[in-house]
Amino acid sequence: MDTVFQLSYSPCPNDTYIFYALATGLVDLSPYKFNIRLADVEVLNGWARNGTMDICKVSAHAAAHIMDDYVLLRAGGALGRGVGPLLLGRSELEIEALDGKKVAIPGRHTTANLLFRLMCRNAGIEVETVELVFDQIMPAVKNGSVDAGVVIHEGRFTFGDYGLFKLADLGSWWEGYCGLPIPLGSIAIKRSLGPEVAAKINNGIRESIEIAHSDPSIPWDYIKKNAQEMDDNVIRQHIKTFVTDYSVDVGSEGEEAVSRLLGEAALMDGVKLPELPVFIKS
């Protein structure tokens, strides 16, 4: 008899590229099947915090709040160098000029917000944050309803179309701050499912990535459908940027980066991390 797991990830091209072969049965993990739901990253973070999902893509920041109940898989995440969120404005200005201003963020528990808070702390400024769905941020900056915005996903490639200016690359800031790649998101699985199930799911995700790597046209229709209005070239840039070698296996440097970010998140949010493994065993 099949066991059905609740699996969720975002409709962004990097996630649909990674999960296509698993979602469509090209990777057979019998007796395990999946009920799949796609949602915005902050919705995913909320589902994980509520324990709604068995397996869930989460922001690395949000992971600090769920480690009692979840462990991170080694495959399927978004982590790398030169891949971080951007802080955008309508004109070129120094970060200190945002003191007391309104800045849009793509969710309170996103890694983007954590990085922005860390940068503001180090710059000695305070801002008023406004939570918006990620695709509403650039229009809000452009129309002046906020003074600046932290953008994720394809915003890295398309902000020029809105006439906006890059005020800071938060990934580059993080790399300068601690010398490590920036962990954006990971795949969390409930600890209660046990290590054997976790290892099998992890291997299935890795195989799914390898199938997509072998022929990127295989998942293309699925990626395109979920990316909606995104330009084909932007989709390809998105995948190239956010699906890295760390997505196949986080590796020792990736583990160090995630642990460092979890520690920063715990300090900023006033939470205590449990003394439990962060990742499943390799």
The catalytic residues are: 153
- Buried b / exposed e over 79-115, threshold 16 CB at 10 Å, is bbeebbbbbbbbeeeebeebeeebbbbbbbbbbbbbb
Distance, in Å, from the CA atom of 270 to the CA atom of 238, rounded to the nearest integer, reads: 33
Return all residues near 153 (Cβ < 8 A) that are at least 6 apart.
Answer: 12, 134, 238
Distance, in Å, from the CA atom of 189 to the CA atom of 280, rounded to the nearest integer, reads: 9
Measure CA of the first residue to CA of the last residue in the chain; give whole Å. Answer: 29
Q: What angle do CA 205, 211, 213 make, to 5 degrees?
A: 105
8 A C-beta contact, residue 252 and residue 174: no
Closest among 278, 269, 230, 221 to 121, alpha carbons compared? 269
**Torsion sign across C-alpha atoms 39, 42, 48, 51:** negative
How many CA atoms, within 13 angstroms, populate the side-chain half-sphere of residue 131?
A: 9
